[in-house]
Structure 1
């Protein structure tokens, strides 16, 4: 919808003031802040037109106006000026947290950095675990208790505890691990199951049970989505009155972080988009709360989009500050995960 220049300036001014103070904005304040040489009557008429178009609303307790979800939408799409931040200092902070390490640790650190820099909640949709393994090992913990160590092709390490009916010797565990690694490394787990059914019948009965249990445990480990969404800084949102103004809102906030289903759906959709995306509650059905916004960006591994990261905060957030934080973090996480050692060099170029 096209707005005349004066209406654009007044709407932008109103929303920026509302983001800064969280209070309805009156015509007198707009007259001073907008630098437009308009009479109070003219400003009131323009405000009335913006209200008729659904961009602002008048709370019954105040003569001022507040932006609607539709108003926030046009603001972030056409009126927002994203001011450049000191990318060098931000990049240095993020680089420090994304040092060489296992992918899940780097992803957790990225979520923490998003939360720390934005002062809201940081979230990362992690890549789904690969349905194959590079290597497994058995470690005897005690009688009939074995630790299964699973290494994915990307170097991701997962552990599972196996409780067995037989007390296996260390040499038997080495024999079983060598057999699996020699014959099944790099294969998809579904293919391994089919081969196991035929081949393990020819092996020692006790080792057959151990190997079958190891493959099932590997499948559970590599398909477990419980840690697929990594969230950091949830407590930051407890201090945001826009999201916790009553018990019902507080409960919805906790349910969203506990269940993660709605977040996974939003992040999965945003991973199919290009660049930074802004989802506004009340405007997007993907956002579970009307007063919440989510700013996201996809990240890549070796040129392929594998996940999404973002910041969860109130609709009344400083978008001009959050957007570059999300964009920079996505680019640096892509670099970190694409690096052969899962890290990035500590430079500021």
Structure 2
């Protein structure tokens, strides 16, 4: 719904004031904040219209008004002036993401988001391609084999295979060599299709072992996604989020279960750019008082995950948005280093 210039100016002033001090904003304060030369009666009429349209609400205990989720949405989509991080801050944060193991980079990025925003930082670990560079079989005991999978970036996944046959070390070595020599660098799905046509050339026992390895490897790669969260305790000091036990329970259930958080991060990675999920309008955010600001990050130009800041709906979006944006760019650059 289109708002005229006066309504936009008053809504912007109201949201900014409410974010700053958390108190309902009255017409007299809006007259000073907006810079508009309007009578108190005119301002009251415009605010009444904004309330009828669902952009602001009147708490029962106050004559002032507060923004609704719909009002926040208009504010962040059309009225917000984003502040740029200064070069000193950007340079300091770049130093916190030196070339290192990807998981260490992920953890540092989550800590960076938390420390800069003073809320909770979240980073989705890079989604793995279902591709292996090397496979090894280690005999643990009779009919128990450890499958070791190394992906193209050097990350390692382990899976336990329980077999019907007690394979000898020679058989295990031959099977690993066959897979590595013929299929290294390919996806497990592709290996499954090719292997099915070649199993006739192998013994039944060896074929069953390779088939089990491909299935277990595919599952290992599919299960490798995770979320790293830093600074959850920061949210305990945010009154809007910790004012009652029900809110606290919802918040920490989200952190513990992570399923809904993963869905939100997956959705934002498909949209591209900075996304803002405001509680009360998004089913993926469990609390009306909570917002999540996200951005995707990439490796060598390919989006592999999403990061963001979890905080109150009443957050300084103009400051948090560039924090999320620059962290995504820094992490992308760090992960893309050869």
The equivalent of 2:217 in structure 1 is 218
The equivalent of 1:304 in structure 2 is 302
1:288, distance to aligned residue in structure 2 (A): 3.1
The equivalent of 1:236 in structure 2 is 234
1:171, distance to aligned residue in structure 2 (A): 5.3
The equivalent of 1:97 in structure 2 is 97
In the TM superposition, what are the counterparts of 1:97-176 in structure 2 within 5 Å? 97-101=97-101, 103-139=102-138, 146-162=145-161, 173-176=172-175
1:211, distance to aligned residue in structure 2 (A): 3.7
The 1:139/1:105 distance shift into structure 2, 3 A limit, reads: farther
What is the aligned counterpart of 2:245 among 228, 244, 247? 247
Verify the 8 A CA contact 1:193 1:215 in the aligned structure 2: yes
The 1:39/1:310 distance shift into structure 2, 3 A limit, reads: same
Q: Deviations over 1:233-260 (max 9, x none)?
A: 3333333332333333233223322333
Using the alignment, how far apart are the partners of 1:106 and 1:288 within structure 2? 28
1:17, distance to aligned residue in structure 2 (A): 1.6
Aligned-partner SS, 2:223: coil
1:205, distance to aligned residue in structure 2 (A): 6.3
1:89, distance to aligned residue in structure 2 (A): 2.2
1:42, distance to aligned residue in structure 2 (A): 3.8
The equivalent of 1:19 in structure 2 is 19
Verify the 8 A CA contact 1:94 1:110 in the aligned structure 2: no
In the TM superposition, what are the counterparts of 1:1-349 in structure 2 within 5 Å? 1-101=1-101, 103-139=102-138, 146-162=145-161, 173-197=172-196, 199=198, 203=202, 210-224=209-223, 227-340=225-338
Range moving further from structure 2, 156-165 or 254-263: 156-165
TM-score, reference length from structure 2: 0.86
Aligned-partner SS, 2:242: coil
Using the alignment, how far apart are the partners of 2:138 and 2:116 within structure 1? 41
1:91, distance to aligned residue in structure 2 (A): 4.2
Using the alignment, how far apart are the partners of 1:328 and 1:91 within structure 2? 11
The 1:144/1:232 distance shift into structure 2, 3 A limit, reads: farther
Verify the 8 A CA contact 2:96 2:108 in the aligned structure 1: no
CA RMSD of aligned residues (A): 2.9
Verify the 8 A CA contact 1:147 1:160 in the aligned structure 2: yes
Q: Deviations over 1:136-159 (max 9, x none)?
A: 223456776554321112333222
Using the alignment, how far apart are the partners of 2:194 and 2:283 within structure 1? 45
Identify unmatched segments of 5+ residues in structure 2: none
TM-score, reference length from structure 1: 0.83
Matched residues, number? 338
Q: Deviations over 1:41-94 (max 9, x none)?
A: 443333223222322111001122111112111111222111222244234324
Verify the 8 A CA contact 2:99 2:337 in the aligned structure 1: no
1:36, distance to aligned residue in structure 2 (A): 4.3
